[in-house]
């Protein structure tokens, strides 16, 4: 691996655990101002010190993240459809690798839609993006199964989507948790990070998901709604960090979360967007 590529991977996956806690805040690109992301800057600010990586679009990067911040950025570069459309798979590459390099990001991310109407185009876009990323030392993350494709969330489907992404050259893959998740990890030769999906019923459920993913061999999380839609986002993030970096059990992570809640971190009050 070239120095630039290797350096970017090391900046995301932490020395010690070899894992990463990525905080995904890119949902607005197809969901609009979803709950607790109405004022994206206010949502992100308290999380920055505890995120190993922030996943955003270039619009949110420019609007909500101080250029003095040193947190590695994972830039979403696919999009072009919204939740108003039936077929979410009709994405294009919406941000060039040139702009990603100009923005100084650590990695770029694109969704692939295996089994969906635009499967072929999305895999072709992934290959094109990887060619461009390899040329300038920027790793590409493939995001498997988003939106309606999530209905197919089982180990066989996700293992196929992750393996295809790795075979095309993705340096890392983000996917969703499922039963027998170890089968998904086993079949994927590059690091897998696990998304959270829609907000779960409880903090415990989100910690259990994270614990299951790490136990199965995931290299971390790329989680959004179960962090910033929690009533205690910083506490949740600290609990997740204990699982990902310190091999904490769910009980130990809950203790971290409860201690942080007592110390007083709560979701930011909604403020008018600047
Ligand atoms: C949106 C995404 C999200 O980044 C991904 O789904 C992770 O967020 P969450 O944990 O909320 O699912 O790719 O398309």
Q: Is residue 274 part of a domain?
A: no
Q: Measured from the CA of 25, which atom of ligand 1 is nearest?
A: 4
**pLDDT recorded at residue 256:** 98
Residue 140, pLDDT above cutoff 50 = yes
**pLDDT recorded at residue 152:** 66
Long-range contacts of 255-258 (CB under 8 A, 24+ apart): 257/203, 257/207, 257/232
Active site annotation includes 174? yes
Neighbours of 271 (CB within 10 A): 10
Q: Is residue 271 part of a domain?
A: no
- Residues 150, 89 contacting (CB under 8 angstroms): no
Q: pLDDT tens digits, residue range 143-183?
A: 997 656 566 679 999 999 999 999 999 999 999 999 999 99
> Residue 265 — very low, low, confident or very high, per pLDDT cuts 50/70/90?
low
Q: pLDDT tens digits, residue range 24-76?
A: 999 999 999 999 999 999 999 999 999 999 999 999 999 999 999 999 999 99
Residue 272, pLDDT above cutoff 50 = no
Q: Give the CA angle between residues 21, 100, 273 to the nearest 5°.
A: 70
Out of 152, 174, 238, 262, the active site residue is 174
- Residues 237, 21 contacting (CB under 8 angstroms): yes
- Please tell me the distance between residue 53's alpha carbon and the centre of ligand 1 in angstroms: 14
Q: Is residue 273 part of a domain?
A: no
The reply to whether ligand 1 has any atom less than 6 angstroms from the CB of 24 is: yes
The reply to whether ligand 1 has any atom less than 6 angstroms from the CB of 28 is: no
**pLDDT recorded at residue 273:** 40
Stretch 11-23: mean pLDDT: 97
Q: Measured from the CA of 30, which atom of ligand 1 is nearest?
A: 14
Stretch 199-210: mean pLDDT: 97
CATH code of residue 116:
3.20.20.70
> Measuring from atom 4 of ligand 1, which residue has the nearest CA?
24
Q: Is residue 270 part of a domain?
A: no
> Measuring from atom 5 of ligand 1, which residue has the nearest CA?
195
What percent of the chain stands above pLDDT 90?
90
Tell me the residue range of the domain where 237 lies.
3-263
Number of structural domains found in the chain? 1
Q: Is residue 269 part of a domain?
A: no
Q: Is residue 268 part of a domain?
A: no
Q: Is residue 243 part of a domain?
A: yes
Residue 266, pLDDT above cutoff 70 = no
Q: Is residue 35 part of a domain?
A: yes
**pLDDT recorded at residue 86:** 87
Stretch 201-206: mean pLDDT: 97
């Amino acid at each position: 691996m070239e120095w630039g590529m290797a350096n970017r991977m090391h900046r995301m996956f932490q020395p010690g655990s070899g894992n990463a806690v990525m905080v995904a805040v890119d949902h607005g690109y197809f969901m609009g101002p979803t709950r607790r992301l109405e004022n994206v800057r206010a949502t992100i600010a308290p999380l920055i010190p505890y995120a190993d990586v922030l996943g955003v679009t270039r619009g949110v990067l420019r609007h909500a993240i101080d250029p003095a911040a040193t947190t590695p950025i994972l830039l979403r570069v696919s999009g072009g459809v919204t939740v108003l459309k039936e077929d979410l798979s009709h994405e294009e590459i919406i941000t060039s690798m040139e702009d990603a390099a100009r923005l100084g990001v650590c990695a770029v991310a694109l969704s692939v839609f295996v089994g969906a109407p635009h499967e072929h185009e999305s895999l072709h876009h992934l290959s094109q993006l990887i060619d461009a990323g390899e040329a300038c030392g920027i790793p590409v993350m493939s995001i498997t199964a988003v939106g309606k494709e999530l209905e197919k969330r089982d180990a066989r489907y996700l293992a196929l989507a992750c393996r295809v992404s790795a075979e095309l050259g993705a340096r890392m893959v983000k996917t969703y948790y499922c039963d027998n998740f170890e089968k998904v990890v086993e079949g994927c030769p590059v690091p897998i990070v696990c998304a959270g999906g829609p907000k779960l019923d409880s903090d415990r459920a989100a910690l259990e998901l994270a614990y299951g993913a790490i136990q199965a061999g995931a290299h971390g999380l790329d989680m959004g709604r179960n962090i910033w839609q929690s009533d205690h986002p910083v506490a949740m993030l600290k609990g997740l960090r204990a699982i990902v970096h310190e091999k904490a059990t769910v009980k130990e992570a809950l203790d971290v979360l409860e201690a942080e809640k007592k110390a007083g971190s709560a979701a930011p009050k909604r403020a008018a967007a600047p």
